[in-house]
Amino acid sequence: MTSAAHPAALTALPPHAPGMRIGLFGGSFNPIHEGHRLVAEQCLKRLALDAVWLLVSPGNPLKDHSELAPLAERVEAARALTANPRIHVTAFEAKHDFHYTVDTLEWLARTCEGSRFVWIMGADNLAQFDRWERWETIARLMPIAVYARPGSTLRATASRAAVALKPYRLPEAEAEVLAGRDTPAWVYLHGITSKQSSSAIRARNKAPAN
């Protein structure tokens, strides 16, 4: 399906306005699970956000797409799991044919001028952040909240990107001011986590029944 063929219900931009504090939580969500919902809910609270947008991507360039479920299916599943009215699910990246986070964030910064965005990612992504397209630009575009994942903390905080960004790390106790900080700025959040993973769910779904 081409980007032009995706219906507006999937790709509409959620409500935004100057001064709004909005968390951007992107991913394939293939499939979404309780761990993703926990991150969105916790970031809403800990970062004092007005909203969190779940950005369901057409596909992560660093991942194999052979098991990628249809976009509409992933969006609908995310909306079913996240009933909080302040959590919005959109696949607008597909409409614009965005495949790299930096392109998405640059476009949002131009289009939603005045909104205070925070990029949200799991600690497993911080561990490989230096492999992302123009990752230094992402760090300059908007503040970043990194959410702990089981078993990822040591590897993430010792990663190349974390070391490079160490001077700009805020104490966790100051997380609620992150959205208003000049960039670069980031915080590492510890909190409620889930051992669920999308890859494990896919593997379990493929396993033959006994």
User: How does 188-197 read in b/e, with b if 16+ C-beta sit within 10 Å?
Assistant: bbeeebeebe
pLDDT of residue 153: 84
Average pLDDT for the chain:
89
More confident residue, 7 or 51: 51
SS3 170: strand
DSSP 184: S
pLDDT in tens, 78-92: 999 998 999 999 999
- Rounded to whole angstroms, what are the CA distances from 33 to 44, 79, 82, 114? 17, 11, 10, 32
What pLDDT band is residue 123 in, cutting at 50, 70 and 90? very high
| pTM listed for this prediction | 0.88
pLDDT in tens, 155-194: 999 999 999 999 999 999 999 999 999 999 999 999 877 5
Task: Out of 37-46, 149-158, 185-194, give the one with best mean pLDDT.
Answer: 37-46
Domain ranges of the chain: 3-204
Q: Residue 187: name the closest of 136, 102, 101, 123 by CA.
A: 123
pLDDT of residue 197: 54
SS3 113: coil
CATH number for the domain running over 3-204: 3.40.50.620
Q: Tokens representing 99?
A: 């495949």
Q: Tokens representing 39?
A: 């991150």
Could you give the CA distance from residue 146 to residue 133 in angstroms, rounded to a whole number?
18
